[in-house]
Amino acid sequence: HNLDHTGSLVSYNFERLTIPVRIKIYAMFLLTAFIGFLVLFVYYKLYLPTQFWKKKGIPCVKPCMIFGNLAPAVFRKKTCSDIILESCKQFESHRYFGFYQFFVPALIIQDIDLIKQICVKNFDSFSDRPDFIPKSVDPFWKKTLLNREGKDWHDMRLVLSPVFTGRKMRAMFQLMYECSQKLAGHFAGEHGTITVEMRDLFTRFTNDATATCLYGIQCDSLKDRHNEFFLMGEEAFDFTGFKSIRFFGSKLSHTLVKILGIKFIDDKVKQFFERVTKESIEYRQRTGLVRPDMIQFLTEAQKGRLEYEEDDKNEHSGFAAIEESDVIRSDRTKRMPITDEDIATQVLIFFFGSYDTVSVVLCQLTYELVANANVQHKLQEEINATLKECNGKMTYDSLMKMKYLDMVVSEIMRLWPPATVLFRQCVKPFEITPALPHEKPYTIQPGDEVLIPSYAIHRNPQYYAKPEQFDPERFNDENKGNIGFCTYQPFGIGPRHCIGNKFALMEVKTGIVSLLSRFQIVPVSKTVIPFVQAKNSIPLRSANDY
């Protein structure tokens, strides 16, 4: 009985003990498996991507897992442009070096001859731009000229190129001039010193100018401060907080972007501009209205009645202006047919490219004119003399002939280029031949990304003396011939340069001339000198407003 009892007791105790023991064994097994999976995940997904350049034997900025070289920007310690500028200084003796955009490796090219090869001579090997957003997530964004690829890009560029010639800018000038006069006239009845937040002012000007020159819509955003067109523009350019993921989401995770359904252009914004385009086209068809704006030119292109017109040899849009490349200009093949949706898509990207970019250039320009009163005074003298010759009314020809104005605008776009980095994606293998003792042959493969650090090149003392200084005299007749090809790239380089560069220059010049013809721009108590760039914004912004 004792044995039975003991045996029964032993058996009972064993059964009671084995359940938690088994649970512990299972838990330890699961924990070990999880730790093993985690180690493998960290190694293959987080660590190995940061070894790409080391394996290739290419010098690179030391990355950290997940963020690559962008951690200071993510945590708002530095701007992206300053990160790349510092990296270029670190590798100043190298023609190129490796960089990491989160998990995506990119080759930064800072040698001018290599830049020429990639962007011009071997353009067919680097004809595409990398995606911000996967095509499957945002097909509308992918249809814009900015994001089309290969032959698709070439054919659309062929259609759009005639819209942006100097002749077309001349035709649109009056529309833009009227907006600039409203800008200056808004303060006509006021006296003394008027305190103005310049970004708000210039954003409203560029909104109205692009609305009339692109869509044929009359806005007065200085009076009607909450008009729908302006609000949609503000919505489109809101990259605060989580919305900034639109810029780098695909570098972090394509899967994450797809799961979250992140689009570069919000559906509400897209639908608004599609509706505006449709209504504008239908109104013109119904009434026979003809006006020199983008919708008009593109509907002419739609009918096959728009051809590329060479500008007069004596007509110059400015030092920063770029003529269309021979790749496009000399192509006489039949233009691709375009739909109303194509028109809506392309006009939206032109609005996108002008609305914020031009207002920021104007903000930086007025800031430098305040900080450099002698430059402002000299510019005002030229403006006053030109207006006197024109009997008080600026013309397109007189605007384009103003030499000092062009010097000032050219310098502001060197110091603060609209695009701080040019992005290119390889589509054909391209071998970099060694030119320095430490180099070895390296082949850039299709799909690889290449970055051209425009901001860093513009601030390189090898190309510009005292590069941090605002000095329009760099672009006078005596000095501008010393500026080498590809060392000045505010609108990009090669066939894929900004198609709207002449439009943007005309908008900047028209806006600043109208203001300085009536006012002197002076610092106020809220003006902070020197300029401090905001670290919490991807587009260029002042940390202290304007």
In 3D space, the residue among 376, 377, 402 whose CA is nearest the CA of residue 388 turns out to be 402
Distances (CA, A) of 238 to 188, 241, 403, 417, 488: 31, 9, 36, 20, 29
The predicted pLDDT at position 20 comes to 66
CA dihedral defined by 243, 247, 252, 253, rounded to 10 degrees? 80
The predicted pLDDT at position 510 comes to 97
Question: 53: which 2 tokens?
Answer: 């350049």
Q: For each of the chain's 546 residues, which pLDDT tens digit applies?
A: 444 444 444 444 445 546 566 677 778 888 888 888 888 888 888 888 899 999 999 999 999 998 999 999 988 899 999 999 999 999 999 999 999 999 899 999 999 999 999 999 999 999 999 987 777 777 888 899 998 999 999 999 999 999 999 999 999 999 999 999 999 999 887 888 999 999 999 999 999 999 999 999 999 999 999 999 898 888 877 766 666 666 666 676 767 777 777 777 888 888 998 999 999 999 999 999 999 999 999 999 888 888 777 777 767 789 999 998 887 877 767 778 899 989 999 998 898 888 889 999 999 999 999 999 999 999 999 999 999 999 989 999 999 999 999 999 999 999 999 889 999 999 999 999 999 999 999 999 999 999 999 999 999 999 999 999 999 999 999 999 999 989 999 999 999 999 999 999 999 999 999 999 999 999 998 999 999 998 888 788 888 888
State residue 133 phi and psi, 5-degree precision: -130, 135
> Cα(362)–Cα(420) distance, rounded to whole angstroms?
16
The predicted pLDDT at position 478 comes to 95
Q: What 3-state DSSP class applies to 44?
A: helix
The predicted pLDDT at position 14 comes to 42
The predicted pLDDT at position 386 comes to 97
Please name the amino acid found at residue 149: E
Please give the annotated binding residues for heme, written as ranges: 498
Element (H, E) at 522: none
Beta strands in 226-380 (DSSP E): none
Question: Helix axis angle, 228-236 relative to 340-371, nearest 10°?
Answer: 80
> Cα(58)–Cα(106) distance, rounded to whole angstroms?
11
State residue 394 phi and psi, 5-degree precision: -65, 140
> Cα(217)–Cα(215) distance, rounded to whole angstroms?
5
> Cα(19)–Cα(129) distance, rounded to whole angstroms?
60
Cα-Cα-Cα-Cα dihedral sign, residues 129, 451, 466, 522: positive
Please give the annotated binding residues, written as ranges: 498
In 261-318, where does DSSP find H-type helix? 267-287, 294-302
> Cα(38)–Cα(45) distance, rounded to whole angstroms?
10
Q: What 3-state DSSP class applies to 105?
A: strand
> Cα(496)–Cα(29) distance, rounded to whole angstroms?
56
Bridging pattern class, strands 442-444 and 430-432: antiparallel
> Cα(172)–Cα(166) distance, rounded to whole angstroms?
10
Element (H, E) at 106: strand 104-109
> Cα(543)–Cα(521) distance, rounded to whole angstroms?
20
Distance of CA 329 to the CA centre of its chain: 24
The predicted pLDDT at position 4 comes to 47
